[in-house]
Structure 1
Amino acid sequence: MVVRLDAAALARVRLAPSPATEAMEWLAYTAGGLPHPLYGDPGPTARFALRDPDVRLVAVLFAASPPKSIPDLLTPKPAAVPADRVFAQQLERMAATSAEAVMAQLAAATHGADPRLRAAAESGTFARRAANGMARFWAAAMADDWPGLRARIDADLARRARTMAAGGIGALIDSLHAKTRWANGRIEIDKPYTETYELNGDELVLSPSVLAWPNLFSQLGNPDDSVLMYPAVGGPDAAGPSSLDRLVGATRARLLISLDRPSTTTELSRRHGLAAATVSHHLAVLRDAGLVAKYRDGRSVRYQRTDTGDALTGEHVDRRLA
């Protein structure tokens, strides 16, 4: 995927948190009955919120299986408003989504045939009910925990701001995720399909997400609602090895930390007293998550942390500037 930005669009790129994205992710884990890889079980309060009919309507999107795509209306671009107004503004934009846009987005998510979603879409009530549902889910399951999540998001924003100050917009884009890079004056994103988006004077928001970790989401179909949602790193609850253990598992955390220098499977096996097959398995998981990359060095294959892996261990090195 390629995103081309003209000079006016490049000047409008900004960083901003998206409370709606955090709420959508937490609702997805709740509806799917799955634990979050970092924060675990959403808990009884989140599940109790599903009793609300409007919350339950949105949860239909996630209850059976992951949707092919997330309807953009659930994650509106955060506006440049005071921090305490961002979520309210997102809910207002959510509720104002046109009936035509609702139908198209639900169809793209491959859940348009569900009778509950179809009935709400055809009656023109889905957007309003989705906004009500997200507001009620937030109040029941998110509001009390938002200060802690926001602290981690703010830590990520500070880290990205330093990266951009030192190396410019290209260094910032390169730092977001293993799948993003700045090349030839454009953003390139590794996707299993080819698509080109043009932003001509349009604003692009780069939004860190704690609960979407380790995924990268692009929302580029509507130039007025363009967002790249990337996994946040850093913050007080992610600074030490114990947090990393919880996130990726104790053994993988040890391997990831030790990859401050390129190493082979054999070297890692000896260093950690693990079977080579065990090391290979864990490296494959870390590589799939975009935390580790491998390359050939003569007859050897060496592994090293990616920028995302560096950032996750709290030892981010901007290789673009090195």
Structure 2
Amino acid sequence: MIEFRFVVGDLARTSFAYSPLQEAVYSLRCWRDPARYPHQRPWLRRLAPAFRRQDTEVLTALIAPSLWIPDFLTPRPDRPRPVFAQQLKALGATPPHTLAADFTAAYAGEPLPPVVRAGLADPAALLDRIVRALTAYWEDCLAPDWWPRVHTVLESDLAYRGKVLAEEGAGGLFASLDPRLTWNGEVLTLVKKLDRHPWSEADIEIGGRGLVLVPTLFAVGAHTNIDPVLPPLLCYPARGRATISETPPPATDEALTRLLGASRARILHLLRDPASTTELAHRLAVTPGAVSQHLAILYDAGLLTRARSGRSVRYARSELGERLCGAR
């Protein structure tokens, strides 16, 4: 059981963020145990040739047999929407002496792989190799197509959680993240069912540091850092993560298609969750310019709403758009 203890002001400092670095590192779990992530299998098949060209010796060593990961590889995001390159630069500044303890904790009694055992003789060199391997993996495998789709899911999750918080308060929000979370107004408790990799009990004082809630596509349930002394963080399964491998949906409603045209009907269908022009373009495999034209027409017709989110504008169905789509 893990307890996060809040005092006055801590709830107000609770925030959301996602982490491109964390998702990149967590995606390595798929290569070790693909059966655990069925929604990623189409991507694994597509990315396998590029992955085989990577430094797989070190990349696979970052994931313990239990699928635990050394804490230094998944630092708490310092902003809601960090940039991968900036996160990787910060990772490269990790004090090398922390690597041995973090790998040992992640492997939890299992023998360290040879590349890690040998590398810890010169942890600075090992850290440099890890950073270079993650850079190449991101650029060759993830950034071109995989990350834009993941980014869409994470942005949609943040929009949904904000709505839950506004409508149901903190209790409803925490309950929506994982049914194993309970909130009594002062303590957020996470209980893990017994398995062969039990957590240690932890009593974490938020203490003005703020709790950051981080959605991920690679979690079955909520979890936190291995080391409870680190700044408070709670990862949870992103809503809609199973859509990562979906193909563009057909516009199946004949009347809606006749009214709007196939492309606009498809976009309206996709906007059951908010998305940006770029995200929709990736999902539909068309240019952002083409999507932008359709969005402008749908917005002018009163079928969409829009709101700025960081550097992008996110679109969602309006009440009229929802009624037009019915329950679809």
Tell me, yes or no, whether TM beats 0.5.
yes
Aligned to 1:209: 216
Give the C-alpha shift of residue 57 in structure 1.
0.6
CA contact (8 A) 1:5 1:198 kept: yes
CA contact (8 A) 1:30 1:46 kept: no
Letter paired with 1:75: T
Letter paired with 1:163: V
Aligned to 1:78: 77
Equivalent residues in 2 for 1:120-199, closer than 5 Å? 120-124=119-123, 125-143=125-143, 144-191=145-192, 192=194, 193-199=200-206
| Distance (Å, rounded) in 2 between the aligned partners of 1:19 and 1:237 | 18
Aligned to 1:200: 207
Which runs of 5 or more structure 1 residues have no equivalent in the other structure?
A: 244-314, 316-322
Distance of aligned partners of 1:62 and 1:224 in 2 relative to their CA distance in 1, 3 Å threshold = closer
CA contact (8 A) 2:7 2:186 kept: no
Instruction: Give the number of aligned pairs.
Output: 236
Equivalent residues in 2 for 1:196-275, closer than 5 Å? 196-210=203-217, 212-219=218-225, 221=227, 225-234=231-240, 237=243
| Distance (Å, rounded) in 2 between the aligned partners of 1:235 and 1:113 | 31
| Distance (Å, rounded) in 2 between the aligned partners of 1:7 and 1:122 | 46
CA contact (8 A) 1:12 1:203 kept: yes
Which runs of 5 or more structure 2 residues have no equivalent in the other structure?
A: 195-199, 250-326
Aligned to 1:255: none
CA contact (8 A) 2:204 2:228 kept: no
Letter paired with 2:212: V
Aligned to 2:12: 11
CA contact (8 A) 1:8 1:202 kept: no
Aligned to 1:23: 24
Give the C-alpha shift of residue 117 in structure 1.
0.3
| Distance (Å, rounded) in 2 between the aligned partners of 1:70 and 1:142 | 19
Letter paired with 1:45: L
CA contact (8 A) 2:105 2:226 kept: no
Letter paired with 2:135: A
Distance of aligned partners of 1:38 and 1:45 in 2 relative to their CA distance in 1, 3 Å threshold = closer
| Distance (Å, rounded) in 1 between the aligned partners of 2:92 and 2:122 | 14
| Distance (Å, rounded) in 1 between the aligned partners of 2:229 and 2:11 | 13
| Distance (Å, rounded) in 1 between the aligned partners of 2:184 and 2:96 | 38
Give the C-alpha shift of residue 36 in structure 1.
2.4
CA contact (8 A) 1:46 1:140 kept: no
Secondary structure in 1 aligned to 2:41? coil
Letter paired with 2:213: L
CA contact (8 A) 2:204 2:232 kept: no
Aligned to 1:309: none
| Distance (Å, rounded) in 2 between the aligned partners of 1:183 and 1:129 | 45
Instruction: Output one character per residue of 1:258-285: Cα deviation in whole Å (capped at 9) or x when no partner.
Output: xxxxxxxxxxxxxxxxxxxxxxxxxxxx
Secondary structure in 1 aligned to 2:63? helix
Give the C-alpha shift of residue 158 in structure 1.
0.9
Give the C-alpha shift of residue 38 in structure 1.
1.2
Letter paired with 1:101: T
Letter paired with 1:142: L
Letter paired with 1:119: A
Secondary structure in 2 aligned to 1:107? helix
| Distance (Å, rounded) in 2 between the aligned partners of 1:36 and 1:175 | 21
Give the C-alpha shift of residue 216 in structure 1.
2.3
Give the C-alpha shift of residue 96 in structure 1.
1.7
Distance of aligned partners of 1:122 and 1:50 in 2 relative to their CA distance in 1, 3 Å threshold = farther
Give the C-alpha shift of residue 4 in structure 1.
0.9
Give the C-alpha shift of residue 213 in structure 1.
4.1
| Distance (Å, rounded) in 2 between the aligned partners of 1:114 and 1:230 | 28
| Distance (Å, rounded) in 1 between the aligned partners of 2:84 and 2:13 | 21
Aligned to 1:106: 103
CA contact (8 A) 1:56 1:133 kept: no
Query: What is the CA RMSD across the aligned residues, in angstroms?
Result: 2.9
Letter paired with 2:47: T
Give the C-alpha shift of residue 34 in structure 1.
4.4
Identity %: 28
Instruction: Output one character per residue of 1:170-192: Cα deviation in whole Å (capped at 9) or x when no partner.
Output: 32112101111212411100125
